[in-house]
Amino acid sequence: MNSVTFPAGIILEWLNRTHRRRDFQSGESLVDDWLVTKASQHQEKRLSVTQVLVDSRNQRVVGFYTLATGQVDFAELPDDIARRLPHRQLPVAVLAWLGVDRNHQSQSLGRRLLSQALRDCHEAGKTFPFVAVILDCLNDSVKAFYLRWDFAEMPGKSYRLYLSGQRLEEMMRRET
């Protein structure tokens, strides 16, 4: 499967200590704080992985996403996913964080990062299957962004969204 292309001079890499993160400002303090203070720690502890878009000239992070795995209880899932599944904790992929620096917003980097994150989930799902990709939104504008990508609300949790594994598979088939 092809990876997403990014503008010249912007490279997607696994987060490492050489990347300049301190100046990253997305406009969402929780997103910024995650990248600066917790992303490396969680990656080192194998709790999540973070990919960063880096300006190749100065190693400054201009965008990122963090993926993890998790579980949700069968009862929390919408009927379209839960149908015919065991009544227990079920595996999910978690899009934990995604952010783009203010100076690089309006360049489709958020869309490209999400596309690559979903491709990564799809590829991982071939080895470690999951029933959905889930994420939690910080606000209405973030929610609107993900709804345009066919994410839907989890029952009773308007800021927790999901994309079924089946829907992800359909999206990836269309792109190949």
Does domain 10-175 correspond to CATH entry 3.30.530.20? no
**Each residue of 141-171: pLDDT tens digit?**
999 999 999 999 999 999 999 999 999 999 8
pLDDT reported for residue 1 = 45
**Each residue of 61-109: pLDDT tens digit?**
999 999 999 999 988 998 888 888 898 999 999 999 999 999 999 889 9
Q: What is the mean pLDDT of residues 32-51?
A: 96
Q: Where are the domains of the chain?
A: 10-175
**Each residue of 109-129: pLDDT tens digit?**
999 999 999 999 999 999 999
**Backbone dihedral angles phi then psi of residue 72, each to the nearest 5 degrees:** -130, 150
Concatenated DSSP letters for 24-65? ---S-HHHHHIIIIIHHHHHHTTS-EEEEEEETTTTEEEEEE
Q: What is the residue-averaged pLDDT of the chain? A: 93
**Backbone dihedral angles phi then psi of residue 21, each to the nearest 5 degrees:** -110, -20
CA angle 8, 10, 125 (to 5 degrees): 115
Q: Distance between the two ends of the chain, CA-based, in angstroms?
A: 7
- pTM exceeds cut of 0.75: yes
Point out the residues that are catalytic. 146
